[in-house]
Structure 1
């Protein structure tokens, strides 16, 4: 720790049932994420803002939530702190939709303090989503952590081990083989480099629909990756990760008692919740629901011999 205090500060007053940890979990890639973590109840999030690097601390104090910002982008992250904490999450109409299915209604009540965060920042989520394409979670995290540490840039603020997400320009300039030792094959590496080169354009979207169009125009980015990005960057409660390995089975099992389902069946079951379909998936995941497992898990691959 150092003695430098925050450059910006703001006190938020969340609802009494707000669950900070659950709400910001989408912004952490495991408890060992080099860019974000929860320590002693405080959420620390390092990022690159339009005003420069910044670290946001969200600290529950009594019934308040104190937001503190460090670095050149401190004002930006503090101004966005309520969105990052999920306090701008708009649940309008969801309670009525949830009543159409008894399980969803119960989960909406049980997890009512769970809110969807909005970061307003596209590339950090693009980085993670591309690395999660068609691999295990362990593979994805290893690649993500290795890339962040390869381009290591310390985050401002008192947490010495916190790092900033890579600068898109640095990622775009790196040849694809730089990523190979991190377990990232050429296909994902090239997709990441293309997205990094377009980071400024991807950031300048009016809404999640425009962002989805621009993202899916990038070779190597499809509906799954775009949904993973806009659900967090824009807080889109309707974004469904079509093409996911697990989500269709989770949805069909939870909503219809069917242990296996495809994307078409999943979307049919989610249709009554249009506008909040991604929120329903989030609630099912928060409850820990999953379909019965009949086969072996996806193996972890190695690129060491290539």
Structure 2
């Protein structure tokens, strides 16, 4: 059983660049993007659902599947980034020539907002202090081993139920490459997932998340940027972003969190969006020294 809804998109809307951040690179058990089609499995307050967005001419055709198809369709425009509010940003972007140029080039990119907090907590906690390759492998294994198939016509897995994550012994996560510290942080969030999902906005969610041991400003920012489409969320504590910001805005090869926030201050309200623009533009500071090694906790 399915239902549909047609969505109008803004001029120059970039479909792929707007929705791809919702998926783990290369392969995501809970979603898929192919050409003009985006699929996303959702564990919603109303139950499981799968949302399909199809780029159709000048708009999007949204189709929902499963018991919570209605919830998915009501949220479809936000998930596509169509509730993203750019008012005021062009004036801020004009204060720096590079930001102004990137804002014009990527004017069609919108920030999605899933409205689902724990879904983003899972990925953000797994990405703490490890390489993306390690984190994404763990994410794939957890979604495959600890969840169930999503409704709809294609094979996807639902994001894991927080109750299952909370009840699973920490050593079960070890073969997935997740050590006890990250597992316990994830399980603490899973225990209060219901309260997290009821947060009124990114400020409340940030406060609740950072009150949990093992979850700091970086993780909270990664979560609210996706769950609420918060354009001001800055991932303080990131390994690369302070250097990228310092290089892009001041020509400095290395930067601290404090320097990053100083340089981003003129863009308050859209600081996270500016960081995203640097990523879309492929900007990065010069690299020095060896890369972070890829470790396997599963073999320890």
In the superposition, the TM-score normalised over structure 1's length comes to: 0.97
The answer on 1:205 being equivalent to 2:204 is no
Give me the whole-angstrom Cα distance separating, in 2, the residues matched to 1:44 and 1:201: 27
Structure 1 residue 295: deviation in Å?
1.2
Alignment match of 1:16 (pick from 2, 11, 15): 11
For residue 169 of structure 1, what is the aligned residue in structure 2?
163
Aligned pairs for 1:152-231 (under 5 A) are 152-160=147-155, 162-231=156-225
Q: Within 5 Å, which residues of 2 pair with 1:46-85?
A: 46-85=41-80
Contact 2:147 2:161 in 1 (8 A): no
Distance in structure 2 (CA, Å) of the matches to 1:259 and 1:116: 28
Matched, 1:42 2:28: no
1:262 correspondence with 2:246: no
How do 1:243-282 and structure 2 match up within 5 A?
243-282=237-276
> Greater shift after overlay, 34-43 or 279-288?
34-43
Q: Deviations over 1:133-186 (max 9, x none)?
A: 0000000001111111111311110112x1100000000000110100000000
Q: What CA deviation, in whole Å up to 9, does each residue of 1:201-254 have, x standing for no partner?
A: 111111110110000001100000000000010110000000000100111111
Cα shift at 1:31: 2.8
Q: 2:277 aligns with which of 277, 280, 283?
A: 283
> Which among 85, 94, 105 is matched to residue 100 of structure 2?
105
Q: Which residue of 1 aligns with 2:226?
A: 232
Per-residue displacement from partner, 1:102-134 (whole Å, max 9, x unpaired)?
A: 000000000000000000000010000000000
Contact 1:55–1:71 (8 Å) recurs in 2: yes
CA distance in 1 between partners of 2:225 and 2:3 (Å): 27
Question: Do the aligned partners of 1:253 and 1:291 also contact (CA within 8 Å) in 2?
Answer: yes
Match of 1:126 among 113, 121, 135: 121
**Could you tell me how far apart the structure 2 residues matched to 1:42 and 1:223 are?**
34
User: In the superposition, relative to structure 1, how do residues 207 and 152 fare at CA in structure 2: closer, same or farther (>3 Å)?
Assistant: closer
Structure 1 runs (4+) greater than 4 angstroms displaced: none
Cα deviations by residue, 1:40-76 (Å, 9 ceiling, x for unpaired): 3200000101111000000011112000000011111
Distance 1:77 1:288 in 2: 32
Alpha-carbon shift at residue 100 of structure 1 (Å)? 0.5
2:216 corresponds to 1:242: no
Which one of the candidate residues 283, 293, 296 is aligned to 2:290? 296
Q: Structure 2 regions of 5+ residues with no counterpart?
A: none
Contact 1:230-1:239 within 8 A present in 2 as well: yes
TM-score normalized with structure 2 length: 0.98
Q: How many residues align?
A: 300
Distance 1:253 1:73 in 2: 45
**Which residue does 2:111 correspond to in 1?**
116
Aligned to 2:132: 137
Deviation at 1:8, TM superposition (A): 1.6
Distance change >3 Å, CA 152–CA 15, structure 1 → 2: same
